């Protein structure tokens, strides 16, 4: 439970206590959780860049597994593009997979 205590500078003004949230909620952990999620997203985007570079050389070994891990962290249109890249890899279409990865990375840049 988060308690905010505000007092007025005027004399005889009572303190105002504002209660927000449900009992047992941990507000101190929210910034840490956001930072962890941000770090996971940054790692996932690095994985996409690395996968794109590997595919450019014709090397697709292990790329699908890497993309699966990245896909789990990402969301929205970016996640759909990674899923499409994995489907292209399943068809051995490395060019299409690279295009989908480039689109996913461009999508994330646009969200900044």
Listing DSSP states for 25-67 in one string gives: --STHHHHHHHHHHHHHHHHHHHHHHHHHHHHTT--TTHHHHH
4 falls within a domain? no
59 falls within a domain? yes
Number of domains in the chain: 1
23 falls within a domain? no
91 falls within a domain? yes
22 falls within a domain? no
Please give the chain's pLDDT, 112 residues, in tens: 444 444 444 343 333 334 444 555 555 567 888 888 889 999 999 999 999 999 999 999 999 999 999 999 999 999 999 999 999 999 999 999 999 999 999 987 766 6
16 falls within a domain? no
36 falls within a domain? yes
Which structural domain, as residue segments, surrounds residue 83?
30-111
3 falls within a domain? no
């Amino acid at each position: 439970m988060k308690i905010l205590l505000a007092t007025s500078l005027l004399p005889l003004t009572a303190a105002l206590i504002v209660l927000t949230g449900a009992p047992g909620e941990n507000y101190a952990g929210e910034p840490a959780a956001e930072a962890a999620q941000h770090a996971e997203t940054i790692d996932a985007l690095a994985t996409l860049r690395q996968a794109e570079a590997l595919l450019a050389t014709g090397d697709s070994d292990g790329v699908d597994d890497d993309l699966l891990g990245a896909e789990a962290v990402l969301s929205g249109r970016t996640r759909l593009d990674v899923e499409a890249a994995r489907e292209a890899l399943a068809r051995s279409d490395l060019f299409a997979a690279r295009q989908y990865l480039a689109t996913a990375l461009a999508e994330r840049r646009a969200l900044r």
